[in-house]
């Protein structure tokens, strides 16, 4: 893990303002990054190094030669697309590493008559502190959060990190009414057994019985060479996931 870079970036973005960020890319229209038609901002950098990462290029916190993007540039791009949008989603990498930038961006979107009606969502791996959610909550409409594994041992295998703060974030966000969706990335033979699916659904249901669950099937495309031997879920696996998770009474979305 690139500890020094992560700590440096966290320090920068906990200063009073963050008017620019490391932005890996922007997509003006997406139907898969939250409700409706969304403008998506991909922030660069992640503190994890997941075996199953589908976009490892987004992990380095400060790739050599990458410039920072001023907030005005992002706002201008959102304004241009605004008539066709439902909302804006900030994702990553791990978006909350640049939380101050998100707060500034969302506050300006809310204050601008052209963009004020757009919903503002964050897509996160959940590995952050309650203080970060407190900072984002006043300007954020919803958070989509990944849960890579309920069992910590498997979580460490998949991500290199404990899931303690992820579980805390799920509980915290549900309590604030900000948890839009939890996404399960399922990999055959690793985290997709019936027992763990049942326990995961049970744990989530205890947190929020109205929680929305989304199944993300692992796909090798885009993954690193070390993940190419992992299996992809087939149609029968997906049907089993839906049935097992759905038996909990939670709403289960498509893969
Ligand atoms: S949390 Fe997401 S962006 Fe970060 S390494 Fe894992 S899959 Fe990649």
At residue 35, what are phi and psi to the nearest 5 degrees? Answer: -70, 135
- Least Cα distance to 113 among 153, 66, 75 occurs for 75
Flag whether 253 is in a domain: no
Ligand 1 centroid from CA 32, angstroms: 17
Q: What is the pLDDT of residue 118?
A: 98
Rounded Cα distance between 177 and 141, Å, is: 9
Flag whether 185 is in a domain: yes
Flag whether 255 is in a domain: no
- Ligand 1 pocket residue status of 40, Cβ below 6 Å: no
Segment 191-227, tens digit of pLDDT: 999 999 999 999 999 999 999 999 999 999 888 888 8
Angle at 193 between CA 187 and CA 194, to 5 degrees: 135
Ligand 1 atom closest to the CA of 55, numbered from 1: 8
The verdict on whether omega for the bond into residue 93 sits within 30 degrees of 0, i.e. cis, is: yes
Flag whether 115 is in a domain: yes
- Residue 74's domain comprises 3-248
Of 226 and 131, the one with more pLDDT:
131
Beta carbons within 10 angstroms of residue 89's beta carbon: 24
Ligand 1 centroid from CA 187, angstroms: 15
Residue to substitute in 59, 124, 227 for testing ligand 1 pocket (most ligand atoms within 8 angstroms of CB): 59
Q: At 76, which CATH number?
A: 3.20.20.70
Angle at 49 between CA 45 and CA 53, to 5 degrees: 90
> Binning pLDDT at 50, 70 and 90, where does residue 1 land?
very low
Structural domains in the chain (count): 1
Flag whether 104 is in a domain: yes
Flag whether 254 is in a domain: no
Flag whether 160 is in a domain: yes
Flag whether 184 is in a domain: yes
């Amino acid at each position: 893990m690139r500890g020094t870079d992560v700590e440096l970036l966290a320090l920068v973005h906990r200063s009073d303002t963050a008017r620019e960020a490391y932005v890996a890319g922007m997509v003006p229209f997406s139907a898969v990054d939250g409700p409706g038609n969304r403008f998506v901002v991909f922030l660069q950098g992640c503190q994890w190094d997941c075996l199953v990462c589908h976009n490892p290029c987004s992990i380095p916190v400060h790739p050599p030669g990458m410039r920072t993007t001023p907030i005005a540039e992002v706002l201008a791009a959102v304004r241009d697309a605004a008539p066709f949008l439902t909302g804006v989603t900030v994702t990553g990498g791990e978006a909350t590493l640049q939380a101050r930038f998100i707060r500034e961006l969302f506050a300006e979107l809310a204050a601008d008559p052209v963009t004020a009606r757009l919903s503002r969502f964050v897509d996160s791996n959940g590995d952050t502190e309650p203080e970060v959610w407190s900072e984002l909550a006043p300007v954020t409409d919803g958070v989509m959060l990944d849960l890579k594994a309920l069992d910590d041992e498997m979580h460490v295998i998949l991500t290199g990190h404990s899931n303690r703060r992820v579980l805390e974030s799920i509980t915290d966000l549900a309590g604030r009414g900000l948890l839009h969706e939890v996404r399960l990335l399922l990999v055959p033979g690793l985290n997709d057994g019936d027992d763990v699916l049942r326990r995961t659904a049970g744990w989530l249901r205890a947190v929020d019985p109205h929680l929305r669950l989304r199944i993300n099937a692992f796909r090798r495309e885009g993954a690193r060479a070390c993940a190419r031997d992992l299996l992809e879920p087939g149609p029968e696996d997906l049907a089993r996931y839906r049935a097992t998770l759905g038996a909990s009474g939670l709403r289960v979305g498509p893969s």
